[in-house]
Amino acid sequence: MKLNKAMNRRNFLKVSAASGTGLVIGFNWLAGCTPTSPEMSIPKSWTDINAFIKVADNGLVTIFSPNPEIGQNVKTSMPMIVAEELDVDWKKVIVEQADLNTVKYNRQVAGGSQSIRAGWEGLRQAGATAKQMLRQAAANQWQVDVSDVSTEMGQLVNSKSGDKLGYGDVAVAAASLPIPDEVELKDLKDFKLIGTSVKNVDGEKIVTGKPLFGIDYKREGQLIAMLIHAPAFGMKLKSYDAEAAKAMPGIQDVFKLDTSLEEPQWSDVNAFNDLIVIVGETTWQVMKAKKAVNAEWVADTPLENSEDHFAKLVDGVERQKGRVLREDGNADAALRSASKVIEKTYTAPFLAHNTMEPMNFFAHVTPEKAELVGPIQTPESLRGTVMKVLGMTEDQVTIEMTRMGGGFGRRLYGNFGLEAALISKAVGKPVKLVYTREDDMTQGTYRPAYRVKYTAGLDENNNLIAFKAKAAGIPGSPLFANRFPAGTVDNYHGEGVNVATNISTGAWRAPRSNFIAGAEQAFIDEVAEAAGKDPLDFRLELFDRAINNPVGDNNDYDAARYAGVLKLVKEKANWTQDMSGVSRGVAAYYCHNSYVAQVVDVVMKNNEPVVQKVWCAVDCGIVVNKEGAINQVEGGIVDGIGHAMYSQLTFKDGKPEQENFHQYDLIRHMQAPEIEVFFVENDIHPTGLGEPSLPPVMGALANALYKATGTRYYNQPFTKAKQADEILVG
Amino acid sequence: MIQGHFDEKKGLNSTRLKLTTMAIFNIKVNGKTREVDVEPDTPVLWVLRDHLDLPGTKFGCGIAQCGACTVHADGNAIRSCSTPISAVGDMEITSIEGLSENGDHPVQQAWIEHDVPQCGYCQAGQIMNAAAFLDKNPNPSKEEIASAMSGNICRCGTYTRINAAIQTAAKKS
Ligand code: FES
Ligand code: FES
């Protein structure tokens, strides 16, 4: 058997002297797990084994989930990895959200689909080290060698005598042992928990309406705060009159707040720093008072319009000289010699994140300390900003992470946390800041608007000989120049153009990929059509080239894994089979270290295209939690279809024209397709899953719509934007 | 009701009188009669969340567009964000906390069985809408479910699971 040995020199394996054992007060595990064995009683004491694991005298195990939970299910899947190596019965596991502690934990961030990938090694070590120490403690008690002690679902077994001890019986002794220098990690084939389906650890609390979210947080004596920001990007506050608002019931104060920072870090991106704050007793009172404030705003930078954005993107792609991001061979020369040239442009609008839980945060700031509680994807960055602004040290600022009602990138930018802290400081009371939906939608860090022009050349044998991509974005280019089709074609040119704006933008689920994948995969479809080839086989042909004789040595992807997902979806969806009445489109994409290929089936109902089914093949290495993984993939697909079809944020004189869900269309239940998900089985360490299924589906959808309607869809959202031949769907 | 208001910044001289229209309401929530003293236009959503410590009902849009705030009024699904407390009268309000005693309503069970939630924020509203719908249509088709549930947004995109869970719940109840 191959042993995976890992060196344990990390902080999370140490237990501070102060933590040792202790009596449990305020016990609430019944809500989180249902012990099945009748002898399972309430534990009398708990022992910390390391930063991730606490063992009770009766064998219950608490596993701390280090990363913020935004719906990507890491609160279930990360502890599963610890439990696997610890070899404990999942029914005896209680999961708790860890606090922000950068000494104990690494990278407490929800973003970039990296929680599992980055946490994998450390989580396994935490479990394996604890198991090793428990085995050693049992060996000492039995006076046998540690190699004579094996484990079996939370039990220690003396292989000489057959005696058994529970983890709880030796936890105290184990905690005082030295941390082993080296531990054995399980062989992958011995995994019992990883790869199975484990239910969401918060599932029962969610379906019974327990307070889990930041917006549910309540502290004795807390006030509610809301904000008024400029109605348009480019405006600042001139004057305001709050007399009427202040006189309204329950209202404690109305004041101006400036949240601008001298040296902002990346996570401080914020739409508006010039704010009016309304503080009162209850949410409804504050909401009403907010409407009674009269404010006058003046423009100090240009008030931008969507038409101008579009014109600037066109100018960027057609006339600006961009930054060359990659050059292989000579694309222009190859195009001149090509027998067929295909050229198309694609666009997409700004998007809001629209997490279902609007932005909010609790803060209680006193001269001594700042306590913050709420939904944040980047707690460490928020703590840094709060420390700087309040002039406090790290130990004076605590951040408790609540479950988040969605993130999608919005909660990477913690302006609402800073706002809450400053408001609490100003009023000297605990405060919960809540955004209305309108505030949330119009004070965003939006997905940038994009445009890309692709040019491809085919030789007389219909082989791809040249490929050019020129991509512009407001404010940044969406192009990943070292991704497909770079590496599959001798002559490649990638160029990016950045267009400035005063509208705040940021990461939005699968940044840049959320546009460029759909555009690229729709374009490849047209190239395949021009070449007279099956679109799926055409892609496989390109990957064959990249497998056998890749162009350049700086290609981000593994062409064989890319081809692997295409082949899997081809087989599962019966791609070659003709299905009458069903129009099919295919796409494949690589991002967040994972590979996804999809087939979208569209049917016509009452002359309208309807997305009937999506087939999806995924290679994300080892799948930790099967059902949770499928749920993520399904969510990404629904999200991708929804935004490609229906959603947009447009601007008129700097003002977002959509403020709430009567103006901003999100995909609805009736519009969601049936989805089937297939995973490539391999032993590769797990990679991202929260984002990769979203980008390609936009392309597969466009390709299927073309088959169904004869119209190529170049501009998102497909149901609203004008297409080249001016036909609208939906 | 007239309340005195003391403005700390300006001191006693500027003390003004606040004219409020608070009123006492006795509403039936989850089987109990609860007394609240609020302005009559206060939406049931905020009465539940702020005054009755029942935060399971969620705020999503405030304008009856997303369904996150769905509760039952005499068994019918309503949008609590857009229903003022003054309109409740004798109606029995049921929130997610009162849907079942032990979290074992067939819809809740089906939600667990299908591991529906992602972030979970929309799910209380989804469950309340599904439960009221199944009461009226105990044997719905997939399409009827989809159309009945289309007023509830799930930003995480769990619609396919919601649909499957409602089909399962229909078989159970
Ligand atoms: S909060 Fe009531 S429908 Fe959205
Ligand atoms: S589960 Fe997140 S909004 Fe529905």
A565-620 pLDDT, tens digit each: 999 999 999 999 888 999 999 999 999 999 999 999 999 999 999 999 999 999 99
Residue A356 CA: which ligand 2 atom is closest?
A: 3
Contact (CB<8Å) A218/B55: yes
CA A453 to chain centre: 28
Residue A439 Cα, ligand 1 centroid: separation in angstroms?
Answer: 15
| B90 Cα to chain A: minimum distance (Å) | 22
| Dihedral Cα B78, B83, B85, B86, nearest 10 deg | -120
Cβ of B121 below 6 Å from ligand 2: yes
Q: Hey, whose CA ends up nearest to atom 3 of ligand 1?
A: B64
Give how far Cα A105 sits from Cα of A16, A21, A624, Å.
14, 21, 20
Q: Is A635 an 8 Å CB contact of chain B?
A: yes
Cβ of B67 below 6 Å from ligand 1: yes
Cβ of B64 below 6 Å from ligand 1: yes
CA B111 to chain centre: 18
**pLDDT per residue as tens digits for the range A677-726:** 999 999 999 998 999 999 999 999 999 999 999 999 999 999 999 886 44
| Total Cβ atoms within 10 A of residue A714 | 22
* Half-sphere exposure in the Cβ direction for A21 (13 Å, CA): 16
Cβ of B147 below 6 Å from ligand 1: no
Q: Give the chain B residue nearest A694 (alpha carbons).
A: B157
Give how far Cα A49 sits from Cα of A19, A90, A172, A242, Å.
10, 17, 8, 55
| Total Cβ atoms within 10 A of residue B75 | 12
Q: Hey, whose CA ends up nearest to atom 4 of ligand 2?
A: B154
Q: What is the pLDDT along chain B (173 residues), one digit of tens a residue?
A: 333 333 333 333 333 445 557 899 999 999 999 999 999 999 999 999 999 999 999 999 999 999 999 999 999 999 999 999 999 999 999 999 999 999 999 999 999 999 999 999 999 999 999 999 999 999 999 999 999 999 999 999 999 999 999 999 999 87
> Would you say B72 and B78 are in contact if contact means Cβ atoms under 8 Å apart?
yes
**pLDDT per residue as tens digits for the range A654-688:** 999 999 999 999 999 999 999 999 999 999 999 98
Contact (CB<8Å) A661/B65: yes
> Would you say A134 and A171 are in contact if contact means Cβ atoms under 8 Å apart?
yes
Contact (CB<8Å) A249/B22: yes
Distance, in Å, from the CA atom of B40 to the CA atom of B33, rounded to the nearest integer, reads 17
Q: Rounded to 5 degrees, what angle do the CA atoms A227, A415, A506 make?
A: 115
> Would you say A474 and A311 are in contact if contact means Cβ atoms under 8 Å apart?
no
Distance, in Å, from the CA atom of A671 to the CA atom of A638, rounded to the nearest integer, reads 9
Paired strand residues for A374: A401
Burial classification of residue B167, based on how many CB atoms lie within 10 Å of its CB (0-12 exposed, 13-18 middle, 19 or more buried): middle
Residues 227-286 of A with CB under 8 A from B: 246-249, 282-285
Give how far Cα A46 sits from Cα of A39, A53, A80, Å.
17, 10, 20
Ligand 1, residues B78, B79, B129, B155: which to mutate, most atoms within 8 A of Cβ? Answer: B79
Counts of helices then strands in chain B (DSSP H, E): 5, 7
> Would you say B112 and B53 are in contact if contact means Cβ atoms under 8 Å apart?
no
Ligand found nearest the CA of B152: 1
Distance, in Å, from the CA atom of B157 to the CA atom of B155, rounded to the nearest integer, reads 5
Specify the 3-state DSSP secondary structure of A252.
strand
Distance, in Å, from the CA atom of A438 to the CA atom of A287, rounded to the nearest integer, reads 11
Least Cα distance to B151 among B53, B52, B54, B81 occurs for B81
**pLDDT per residue as tens digits for the range A98-119:** 989 888 887 888 777 778 888 8
* Residue A148 DSSP one-character state: G
Q: Please state whether the peptide bond connecting residue A717 to the residue before it is cis, i.e. omega within 30 degrees of 0.
A: yes
Least Cα distance to A539 among A558, A566, A564 occurs for A566
Contact (CB<8Å) B58/A661: no
Distance, in Å, from the CA atom of A625 to the CA atom of A78, rounded to the nearest integer, reads 9
Residue B72 Cα, ligand 2 centroid: separation in angstroms?
Answer: 20
Q: What's the rounded mean pLDDT across residues A11-28?
A: 42
- Could you say which of B42, B155, B161 has the minimum Cβ distance to residue A356? B155
Cβ of A487 below 6 Å from ligand 2: no
Q: According to the model, what pLDDT value does residue A531 have?
A: 97
The first and second tokens of residue A146, run together, are 């540690």
Domains of chain A with CATH codes: 2-207 (3.30.365.10), 215-301+359-434 (3.30.365.10), 320-351+446-728 (3.30.365.10)
Least Cα distance to A434 among A532, A359, A341 occurs for A359
Q: Choose from A197, A207, A661 for mutation: most chain B CBs within 10 A.
A: A207
Contact (CB<8Å) B63/A660: yes
> Would you say B117 and A203 are in contact if contact means Cβ atoms under 8 Å apart?
yes
**Burial call A550-562: b when 16+ CB within 10 Å, e when fewer:** bbeeebebbbebb
Q: What is the largest CA-CA distance in chain B?
A: 68
Q: Rounded to 5 degrees, what angle do the CA atoms A385, A388, A393 make?
A: 110
The first and second tokens of residue A621, run together, are 């290495």
Q: According to the model, what pLDDT value does residue A1 have?
A: 31
| Positive or negative: CA dihedral A355, A72, A415, A496 | negative
Distance, in Å, from the CA atom of A573 to the CA atom of A716, rounded to the nearest integer, reads 26
**pLDDT per residue as tens digits for the range A616-655:** 999 999 999 999 999 999 999 999 999 999 999 999 999 9
Spell out the residues 6+ positions from residue A307 whose beta carbon is closer than 8 angstroms to its own. Answer: none
Give how far Cα A418 sits from Cα of A221, A388, A389, A423, B38, Å.
20, 10, 8, 9, 31
pTM of the full structure = 0.93
- Could you say which of B22, B53, B62 has the minimum Cβ distance to residue A436? B62
Residues 70-109 of A with CB under 8 A from B: 70-73
Backbone angles phi, psi at A135, to 5 degrees: -65, -40
- Could you say which of B51, B118, B152 has the minimum Cβ distance to residue A669? B152
Give how far Cα B53 sits from Cα of A222, A276, B46, B47, B119, Å.
13, 28, 10, 9, 22
Q: Rounded to 5 degrees, what angle do the CA atoms A619, A620, A626 make?
A: 100
Question: Which residue is listed with tokens 């190699």?
Answer: A147
Contact (CB<8Å) B118/A639: no
Q: What's the rounded mean pLDDT across residues A388-396?
A: 97
Ligand 1, residues B42, B66, B83, B126: which to mutate, most atoms within 8 A of Cβ? Answer: B66
Q: Which amino acid is at A428?
A: G
Q: According to the model, what pLDDT value does residue A97 have?
A: 92
Domains of chain B with CATH codes: 26-34+41-98 (3.10.20.30), 106-172 (1.10.150.120)
Q: Give the chain B residue nearest A660 (alpha carbons).
A: B61
* Residue A665 DSSP one-character state: -
Backbone angles phi, psi at A431, to 5 degrees: -135, 140
Least Cα distance to A361 among A414, A286, A288, A290 occurs for A414
**pLDDT per residue as tens digits for the range A309-341:** 999 999 999 999 999 999 999 999 999 999 999
Distance, in Å, from the CA atom of B158 to the CA atom of A405, rounded to the nearest integer, reads 13
| B103 Cα to chain A: minimum distance (Å) | 6
> Would you say A508 and A450 are in contact if contact means Cβ atoms under 8 Å apart?
no
Q: According to the model, what pLDDT value does residue A25 have?
A: 32
Q: Please state whether the peptide bond connecting residue A375 to the residue before it is cis, i.e. omega within 30 degrees of 0.
A: no
Residue B60 CA: which ligand 1 atom is closest?
A: 1
> Would you say B4 and A250 are in contact if contact means Cβ atoms under 8 Å apart?
no
Q: Give the chain A residue nearest B162 (alpha carbons).
A: A669
Burial classification of residue A498, based on how many CB atoms lie within 10 Å of its CB (0-12 exposed, 13-18 middle, 19 or more buried): middle
Is the ipTM, as predicted for this complex, more than 0.90?
yes
* Residue A418 DSSP one-character state: H
